Amino acid sequence: MCGICGKLSWTSRSGREIVERMNLRLAHRGPDAAAVEQVGPIVLGHRRLAIIDLTSAGNQPMMDVSGQYWIVFNGEVYNFLEIRDELLKSGAQFRSRSDTEVILEAYKQWGIHCLQHFNGMFAFALWDGIRQQLFLVRDRLGKKPLFYYEFPDGGISFASEIKALLQDPEIPRKLNLAALSQYLSLSYILTSESIIQGVSKLPPAHYLRVEKGKTPEIVRYWNLEQSFRNKRDFQSEEAAAEELKALLDDAVGLRLISDVPLGAFLSGGVDSSAIVASMCQQKEPGDVYSFSMGFEEQSYSELHEARAVAAALGVTHKDMIAYPNAVDLLPRIVYFADEPFADTSMIPMFLLAEFSRKHVTVCLSGDGGDEIFAGYETYFADQIYQAVHWIPASMVRALYFAFDRIWPVTYKKVSFDYKMRKFLTGLGYPYERAHYHWRTIFTDEEKRTLVSRRLNGVLDVDPFNDFMMFAREVEGCHYLDRSMYVDIKTWLVDDILVKVDRATMAHALEARAPFLDYRVVEFAASLPVKLKMNLLRKKYLLKKSQRGRLPAFVLKRSKQGFNAPIAHWLLHELRLKYYDLLLSDAAEMGLEPSFIAKLWDEHIQKVQDNSFKLLTLINLVLWIREFDVNVG
């Protein structure tokens, strides 16, 4: 795992100093080596976190033996040894044992079609000196980030993070109101927008070709929707479960290749437990290291469950109870998050990565299992919606008001009362918008109250349009398949994977997600829905595949989630620090202080759990302060 950056200019050769500054901003992503190289019209920068081939032969920017092809690469190509052997038979020459050099030689052999051969997580920039072309590439699922800015003369700047890109003085620090609209609705920003006006994100499974005198071209190289449409038939459920288990074992095995210490995150849930169990099939259990963390608030801690799984599997387990100073922690997280981001699970992920890095350099994780095997409560809500959406709107409103009066607000982790209130307010929407609503933070009506005329552009953008665009790509599929596809294209790439990348890279820790091996994702997409969610049984086939490997208590356990007790902190230390600051800064940037004060008061008095809303606003204000962005 590393950080990459660069600048291509057809009219100037003055980009080296800019790229040096960009590279410095990425130091946390790669503490082991750093270099900047100018190659004709392009300057390439790289920060290295050494994982494979720890010698200087693996340092970047890297050129091939001819000196005509250059690359800066962030990530891993897990099947690089297999590809390397194939290339050697074709006469390729190698000077290192790194996967980076395999990418260069694969490009020389197959051109940009080399991407079809790679199984991994990556973002890279490859300069073809013969054709004078730059390729920017991002992996199939979007595990590694890549931002870029196009200049009027056809040039481009790019980087792993926005904070690095902003070191280029030609890029204006102006807030993008469309991205702000997405953030207020979701607490994260979708791929279609960036918080800085003019900055773009390369979508997952795409490459960008930049060539002098031509318009930059974005091309998609992988299509998941076909796997959702082409459903497979299995001889039996047992046969499907065995195939999944073998495939997951292979995905885990590829991700055990490392020249540095390696472990795994373990929550005690089925996803992370399945990964650790698979590791134990391929290594001595005592040589498998697992890591967990929890909070002193018991409803936010899974340490008991994680310890039980670790003991059952016989792995070497390490964990911690966090007592964070929330006031000091939030600004750190906001800085490393790079864009405004307010998923509360970023907090424990950040702390867990910091703890794990004291022992290992690589951790496997269970990320992706919920999205591809229907593990979220939202899919349960989708099913209930299909059964009861015929209820008249007047009756739904009556149900909501009755529940609101009878059931008190609690501040437990994703509490029943929070989920029920959210479900009832979404029941009156068409299905696709209801699924979108389950995870919204500020509704459209609340946004209209929150923003002043100065930020009216926020109201011109409906983030739901992105969700509906993806839903149409799998039109005609089962409604749960449509929801999972939409979640893979939005929630997974723009929330979950952003969280994991930024939290781990803040501590120079590499995270690997076997469930997001593209073969596992295609397999899951091709499953009939009943093998993913069987009646009300979520992750049906995944759990079936783990019988005999995992204890029964893991397979029967309901999903807990990985969150922080923000609701409690907002009553005490965060309230003392941020109540006045939020009101004053929000007013300056065009948000309505009286509405924010109402949110605070409702939360303090336990009228409503407004923790997600308040954290969204606090992190926005902290981000504006940190990055000195022009809001007007």
**Residues with a known catalytic role:** 2
DSSP class of 24: H
Lookup result for tokens 């979007």? 142
Give the amino acid at 596: I
Integer CA distances (angstroms), 332 to 7, 326, 503, 626, in order? 28, 10, 10, 10
CB within 8 Å of 521: residues ≥ 6 apart: 140, 141, 224, 227, 368, 372, 488, 515
Q: What is the spatial distance between Cα 479 and Cα 122, in angstroms, rounded to a whole number?
A: 31
Q: For 128, which DSSP code?
A: E
Q: What is the dihedral of CA 438, 439, 441, 445, to 10 degrees?
A: -40
Alpha helices in 91-173 (DSSP H): 99-110, 162-165
Strand, coil or helix: what is 126?
A: strand
∠ CA 572-577-583, rounded to 5°: 110
Coil, helix or strand for 189? coil
Q: What is the dihedral of CA 24, 25, 27, 30, to 10 degrees?
A: -110
Closest CA to 106 of 74, 75, 80, 145: 80
| Three-class secondary structure of residue 253 per DSSP | helix
In this structure, the dihedral spanned by the alpha carbons of residues 220, 222, 225 and 228, taken in order and rounded to 10 degrees, is -170
494: Cβ–Cβ under 8 A, 6 or more apart, which residues? 142, 188, 189, 190, 191
Check: CB of residue 485 under 8 Å from CB of residue 477: yes
Outline where DSSP puts E strands in 239-386: 262-265, 289-295, 316-322, 362-364
* Contact criterion met (CB below 8 Å) for 158 and 6: yes
Dist. CA 287–CA 416, nearest whole Å: 39
∠ at Cα 289 (498, 53), nearest 5°?
70
- Can you read off the two tokens belonging to residue 16? 């080296």
